Structure 1
Amino acid sequence: MKIEDVLAAGHAPVVAILRGIQTHEAVEIGEALVEAGVRIIEVPFNSPDPAGSIGAMVEALGDRAAIGGGTVIGTDLAETLAGVGGTFMVSPNVDPAVITRSIELGMDVLPGFLTPTEAFAAVAAGARDLKLFPGSVLGSSYIKAIREVLPKTSRVWAVGGVGAANVAEYRAAGVYGIGVGGSLYKPGFDAATVGAKAAELVAAWNAAGG
C-alpha cells in the first residue's frame, strides 16, 4: 500500500516513526498502530535491523498500511528499502540523487527540508511531499509563510516536536500531515502503550480538522 492509498481510504496523514524498533516486535507494534488508525509507518535506517523490520511489516501489514524507511541518506539505502517492499522513503535532507532514485524505484518520497532553497531543490527533483524537519525549530508560523511561496501542489509535513498537544496549531497553519517519533514510540514501549498513544494522536488530528 502506498501513502495515497492510505489517504484515499480516509485515514489520517500521520506517520509513526519507529526509531530503534527491534525486528521481533515490529509486527506487533505495527498491528497496534493500524488498529489505532495510524496507517503510515516508518522505520529509520539507524534502527537495529531496519530492512528486517520493514520487510516483516510489509508482509504482515502491507495491504493495510504504507510501510517505509527513514533516514535514507544514500541511493544504496533507497535500493535496500525498495528491495524489502518499502513503499516510501523519508530523508532528513535534500539529496536530488536519492529522491530521483527512490522515484525510479516506485516509492513515494518525503525529503526533509528547513529552508526555501532546500524545499525548491526537492520539488525540482520530483518531490510532492516535503518534510519540514525539525518542525519545532521554526514552528507553525514558518509553515504558513513557506506555503505561500511553494507550488500549490506541494504538501508540507511537520516532523519533530509535533504531537497531540499542539497538532491543532500546525493544522491551522496549513500543514498537510505530521510525523511523530519519540512521543509515540521509544524502545521499550509495548504494543498497548503505542496503540493508546496512537489513538490519542489520531483523535487530536481529527478534532483539529473539525
Structure 2
Amino acid sequence: MQIDAYLDEFPLIAIFRGVTPEEVVSVAEGVVEAGFRILEVPLNSPRPLDSIALLADRFPDLLVGGGTVMSPVDAMAIAQAGGKLVLMPHSDPAVVRQAKQSGLLCVPGVATPTEAFAALANGADALKLYPAEQIAPSVVKAWRAVLPLNHRLLPVGSIRPDTMADYLRAGANGFGLGSALYKQGMPAPEAARNARAFAQALAELRTQGLLPGGGKAG
C-alpha cells in the first residue's frame, strides 16, 4: 500500500472535520463522486472512529484514515477501526513509528526543514506542510530543492481552487482540504459542489502541465 498511487489519481485529501457518523457517508459520497480518493476524519470530530469505520466499509478501495492524531494509542485505534492512514498536525516520532508498526500510511505535519527530515527518517510516507498559511510557495520551492523528490509535499490550510497553481509550480504534489471543502454541519450537496469545483480546478491545472496527466508533474 502506497499513498503515491492515490495522489497520482487525485492529489487532494478530503478533511471532514466535525462530521458525525450519521452524516459521514452521505457527505463522502458526493465528494468521492467528484474524484476524491483519500478521506480523512479528524479525531476531534464527534465519534470519529465510528465515522472512519463507516467510510472504510463503504469505500474499501479508497484511502480512509484519521487526522489530528496526537498519540500512538490514537494510531492503533484508527487501525482497529479499519483505517489505512494517519495524518497529524505535528511530527511526534512516537506517533509516526506506531502508525508504521500498525501497518498504516502516515503523513505528519511539518513546518520546518528540520521537522521534515526527522519525519522522513521516522518513516513518513508524505509530508503535510502545516499550516500552509505560514509556508508560502516560495518556501515550498526552497524545501523542494533539498528534500527527496520521491516524497510528496502536501500543503494544508486555507487552500482554495485558485491558490493551488502557485504551490504546484513551487514543487507541491497535492493538498489537504478543510473548510473550503467541508465545514461542520454543511449539507452534503454543498460539500459535493465544493468537491466538483476543486476537481474542475485540477483538470485545468493538468492542461497547464502542472500535474501528471498534463505533461509536466508539479
Coarse TM-score class (shorter-chain normalised)? over 0.9
Amino acid at match of 2:137: S
The equivalent position to 1:47 in structure 2, one of 45, 48, 53, is: 45
1:147 aligns with 2:144: yes
Count of residue pairs brought into register by the alignment: 207
1:16 aligns with 2:11: no
Gaps of 5+ in 2: 208-218
TM-score (norm 2): 0.91
The equivalent position to 1:201 in structure 2, one of 198, 201, 213, is: 198
Amino acid at match of 1:34: V
Partner of 2:163: 166
| 1:32–1:159 CA distance, 2 compared to 1 (3 A) | same
CA distance in 2, matches of 1:128, 1:2: 8
The CA RMSD measured in Å over matched residues stands at 1.4
Amino acid at match of 2:68: T
1:113 aligns with 2:110: yes
Partner of 2:129: 132
| 1:89-100 → structure 2 map (5 Å cutoff) | 89-100=86-97
Secondary structure of the 1:86 match is coil
Do 2:18 and 2:185's aligned partners in 1 also have CA atoms closer than 8 Å? no
CA distance in 2, matches of 1:49, 1:5: 29
The equivalent position to 1:30 in structure 2, one of 9, 28, 31, is: 28
Do 1:30 and 1:61's aligned partners in 2 also have CA atoms closer than 8 Å? no
Secondary structure of the 1:206 match is helix
| 1:106–1:41 CA distance, 2 compared to 1 (3 A) | same
Tell me which stretches of 4 or more aligned residues in structure 1 moved more than 4 Å.
none
Quote the offset at 1:4 in angstroms.
4.0
Do 1:130 and 1:155's aligned partners in 2 also have CA atoms closer than 8 Å? yes
Deviations 1:117-151 (A, max 9, x none): 10011011011300000012121111111111112
Quote the offset at 1:209 in angstroms.
2.9
Partner of 1:188: 185
TM-score (norm 1): 0.94
CA distance in 2, matches of 1:55, 1:119: 30
Do 1:16 and 1:40's aligned partners in 2 also have CA atoms closer than 8 Å? yes
CA distance in 2, matches of 1:69, 1:207: 30
Amino acid at match of 2:170: A
Taking every aligned residue pair, what percent have the same amino acid on both sides? 40
1:71 aligns with 2:42: no
Amino acid at match of 2:103: G
Quote the offset at 1:5 in angstroms.
4.5
Secondary structure of the 2:83 match is coil
